[in-house]
Amino acid sequence: DVKVTQSSRYLVKRTGEKVFLECVQDMDHENMFWYRQDPGLGLRLIYFSYDVKMKEKGDIPEGYSVSREKKERFSLILESASTNQTSMYLCASSLKNSPLHFGNGTRLTVT
Amino acid sequence: AQTVTQSQPEMSVQEAETVTLSCTYDTSENNYYLFWYKQPPSRQMILVIRQEAYKQQNATENRFSVNFQKAAKSFSLKISDSQLGDTAMYFCAFMKQGGSEKLVFGKGTKLTVNP
C-alpha cells in the first residue's frame, strides 16, 4: 500500500512564525500536492509538483511556498504565518493519470 | 476552469438502507476522470470509486456504485445496505486526463448513518 506521511498531526504556531509542513511518500510517485481543507469550502489546491524541483501554483498559493528537493518529499512553507492560515492541510501523491493517495492531514492553528 | 458542485451539504440514512449522493461538474474537456473520496472522522481520505469518462459502463465497487451521465455532467454515488462505518464526508472530484493530474473537489456531503 502507498503510504503518505505528514510529519505532524497537530501543530500550533504563533503569528509571524515560519512554518514547515513536511510530507513524504514511499511509492516513487511523480506527482505531489498540497491541499487546504476548510469547512464548507472543500479541498483547495495550494501547490503541486510533477517532478523534483518542479512546482506549479494551484488555486490559492498566496502566503505559501513549496520545496521539492527529493522525489519522495514535498514541503509546504508558510513564510510568515497568519491567523487566516489556520486550517487542515492535506498532502497527496500520485502516478500519472492515477488517483491521489492522501496523508492523514495536519491541523494547523495559528494564534 | 473545471468546477464540481455537491448540492447536499448534509444527508442522513438509516442503517441497511440505500442513499444517493449528488454531484455535477462543469468542463469543456472530453477526456477526464471522476472520483468519489470518503473522509471519515479519522481524517484519512480514502478513494471509494473511480470512473473514466470514455467508459459508458457505470463503475461499481461492492456496495458503492455510480450513475454517470456524461451529457448531463452528473456523477452520483449510490451506497447500498448502508453501514455505520459509512458515516463520513464524501467528496466528488474531477481530474482532466493528460494534464497535470490535479484534482478539483466539490465542497463535500456529510453523510450520517443512523442505527
Q: Which of B38, B37, B10 is nearest to B94 (CA)?
A: B37
Q: Phi, psi at residue B10, to the nearest 5°?
A: -140, 145
Strands A101-102 and A42-49: unpaired
pLDDT of residue A2: 67
Q: Determine contact: A45 vs chain B, CB below 8 A.
A: yes
Identify which of A97, A98, A102 has the shortest CB distance to residue B45.
A102
Residues of B in contact with A56 (CB under 8 A): 100
At residue A111 the predicted structure's pLDDT band, cuts being 50, 70 and 90, is very high
Cα separation, A84 vs A90, in Å, equals 16
Within a 10 A sphere around the Cβ of B107, how many other Cβ atoms?
A: 19
Within a 10 A sphere around the Cβ of A81, how many other Cβ atoms?
A: 21
Cα separation, A104 vs B95, in Å, equals 21
Task: Return averaged pLDDT per consecutive 10 residues of chain B, 115 residues in all.
Answer: 92 97 94 95 91 92 96 97 96 85 91 97
> Does B107 sit within 8 Å of A104, measured CB to CB?
no
